[in-house]
Structure 1
Amino acid sequence: MKLALFDFDGTLTTKDSLEEFIIFAVGKRHYYFKLIFFSPIFLLYKLKIMHNSYAKELLFRLFFHKIKESDFKALASSFSAEILNAILREDIYKKFQEHKLNGDRVIVVSASMRCWLEPWTKLESVELLSTELEFKDGEFSGRFSTLNCHGQEKLNRIQKHLNLDDYEEIYAYGDSSGDTQMLSIADKSIKV
Structure 2
Amino acid sequence: MNLALFDFDGTLTKQDSLNEFLKHSVSRKNYIVNMFKFLPYFTLWQLKLINNGVAKEHLFRIFFKDIDEEFFKKTATEFSLKKLDFIISKERIKILKKHQANGDRVVIVSASMQCWLQPWCDKNSIELLSTKLEFKNGTFSGKFLTPNCHGIEKENRIKAHLNLQEYKTIYAYGDSSGDKEMLALAHKSIRY
Q: Distance in 2 between matches of 1:21 and 1:27?
A: 12
Q: How many residues align?
A: 192
1:43 aligns with 2:43: yes
- Offset at 1:33? 2.3
Q: Which residue of 2 aligns with 1:4?
A: 4
Q: Which residue of 2 aligns with 1:66?
A: 66
1:111 aligns with 2:100: no
Fraction of identical pairs, as percent:
55
Q: Which residue of 1 aligns with 2:186?
A: 186
Q: Which residue of 1 aligns with 2:83?
A: 83
TM-score using structure 2 length = 0.98
Q: Which residue of 1 aligns with 2:170?
A: 170
- Offset at 1:27? 2.8
**What secondary structure is seen at the aligned counterpart in 2 of 1:140?**
strand
- Offset at 1:157? 0.3
- Amino acid aligned to 2:107: I
User: C-alpha deviations, 1:139-185, integer Å up to 9, x for none?
Assistant: 00000000000000000000000111100100000000000000011
**What secondary structure is seen at the aligned counterpart in 2 of 1:156?**
helix
Q: Distance in 2 between matches of 1:49 and 1:184?
A: 26
- Amino acid aligned to 2:145: S
1:139 aligns with 2:139: yes
Q: Which residue of 2 aligns with 1:125?
A: 125
User: C-alpha deviations, 1:39-75, integer Å up to 9, x for none?
Assistant: 1110100110011111100000000000000000000
- Amino acid aligned to 1:140: F
Q: Distance in 2 between matches of 1:114 and 1:38?
A: 22
- Amino acid aligned to 1:55: A
Identify which range, 24-33 or 135-144, moves more after superposition: 24-33
- Offset at 1:31? 1.1
Residue pairs, 1:153-164, within 5 angstroms: 153-164=153-164
5+ residue gaps, structure 2: none
Q: Distance in 2 between matches of 1:60 and 1:128?
A: 20
- Offset at 1:29? 3.0
Q: Which residue of 2 aligns with 1:25?
A: 25
TM-score using structure 1 length = 0.98
**What secondary structure is seen at the aligned counterpart in 1 of 2:150?**
coil
**What secondary structure is seen at the aligned counterpart in 2 of 1:5?**
strand
User: C-alpha deviations, 1:68-90, integer Å up to 9, x for none?
Assistant: 00000000000001110000011
Root-mean-square deviation over aligned CA pairs: 0.7
